[in-house]
A and B are shown apart, each in its own frame.
Chain A
Amino acid sequence: MGLQFYVQNALGGLAYGSLLFLIASGLTLIFGLMRIINLAQTAFYLLGAYVGLTLVAHGTNFWLASVAGGAVTMVLGLAVYSAFLHRYHADHLTSLLLTLGFALILDDGVLAVWGGDPRSIAPPPGLAGSIHIGTLVFPEYWLAVIAISFTIAAVLFFALQRTMLGVMIRASVDDEEMARGLGVDVNRAFFVVFAAGAFIAGLGGLLGGPITSAYPGLDGEITPLAFAVVIVGGMGSLTGALVGSLLIGLVNAFGKAMFPELSYFTIFVPVALIMAFRPQGLFGRKL
Chain B
Amino acid sequence: MSVGRRWIVAAAAGFVVALLLPRLGVPTFYVSLLTQTWIFAIVAMSLDLLVGFTGLVNFSQAALFGVGAYAVAIGATRFHVTAFVPVMALGIVCAMVTAAIFGLVALRSEGVGFIIITIALNEIVWGLAYQWVSVSGGDNGITGIVRPHVGPFDVSENTGYYYVCLVSFAICLVLLLVLVRSPFGLVLKGVRETPRRMRALGYNVWLYRYLAMTISGGFAGVAGVLFAWYNQFVGPVALSLDQSTQILIIVILGGIGTLYGQVFGALVVVFLSNELSAVTQRWEMVLGVIYFAVVMYAPGGLVVLVPRLWNRLLGRRMPVTAEES
Seen from chain A, the residues whose Cβ lies within 8 Å of a Cβ on chain B are 31, 35, 37, 39, 84, 88, 92-94, 96-98, 100-105, 107-109, 111-112, 220, 223-224, 227-228, 230-231, 235, 260-265, 267-268, 271-272, 275-276, 279-280, 287
Contacts and interface: CB of A to CB of B under 8 A. Distances in A.
A97 B248 contact: yes
Contact of B108 (A112, A267, A275): A275
A224 B112 contact: no
Nearest to B245: A100
A139 B116 CA distance: 35
Interface string B66-94: 00000000000000000000000000000
A20 B117 CA distance: 18
B116 A227 contact: yes
Contact of B284 (A39, A104, A223, A260): A104
Interface in B99-130: 105-106, 108-113, 115-117, 119-120, 123-124, 126-128, 130
Nearest to B109: A279
A97 B134 contact: no
Contacts of B285: 104-105, 108-109, 112
A260 B131 contact: yes
Given A93-B57, A105-B285, A107-B284, A235 B119 contact: no
Interface stretch (B149-157, B204-212, B220-228, B290-298): B290-298
Contacts of B241: 39, 220, 223
Contacts, number: 130
A183 B282 CA distance: 46
Contacts of A275: 105-106, 108, 117
B282 A92 contact: no
A84 B113 contact: no
A227 B119 CA distance: 8
Most buried by A among B111, B120, B127: B120
Interface in B25-45: none
A230 B116 CA distance: 9
B128 A262 contact: yes
Interface in B238-286: 240-242, 245, 248-249, 252, 281-282, 284-285
Contacts of A228: 120
A244 to B, nearest CB: 12
Nearest to B113: A287
B97 interface: no
A262 to B, nearest CB: 6
Contacts of B240: 220
26 contacts: A92-B112, A93-B57, A93-B115, A97-B248, A100-B245, A104-B287, A104-B288, A105-B285, A105-B288, A111-B284, A112-B282, A223-B123, A224-B126, A231-B116, A261-B132, A261-B133, A263-B127, A264-B124, A264-B130, A275-B105, A276-B105, A276-B108, A279-B108, A279-B113, A287-B109, A287-B110
A263 B282 CA distance: 32
A260 B124 CA distance: 14
A35 B291 contact: no
Contacts of B105: 271-272, 275-276
Nearest to B248: A97
B285 to A, nearest CB: 4
A224 B120 contact: yes
Contacts of B295: 94, 97-98, 101
Nearest to A281: B113
Contacts of B281: 112
A103 B249 CA distance: 15
Contacts of A31: 112, 116
A231 B98 CA distance: 20
B318 interface: no
Contacts of B171: none
B212 to A, nearest CB: 17
* A-B pairs with lowest CB-CB distance, top 3: A264-B127, A224-B123, A104-B288
A271 B131 CA distance: 19
Contact of B296 (A98, A108, A267): A98
Interface string B225-241: 00000000000000011
A98 B292 contact: yes
B115 A224 contact: no
Interface in B125-184: 126-128, 130-134
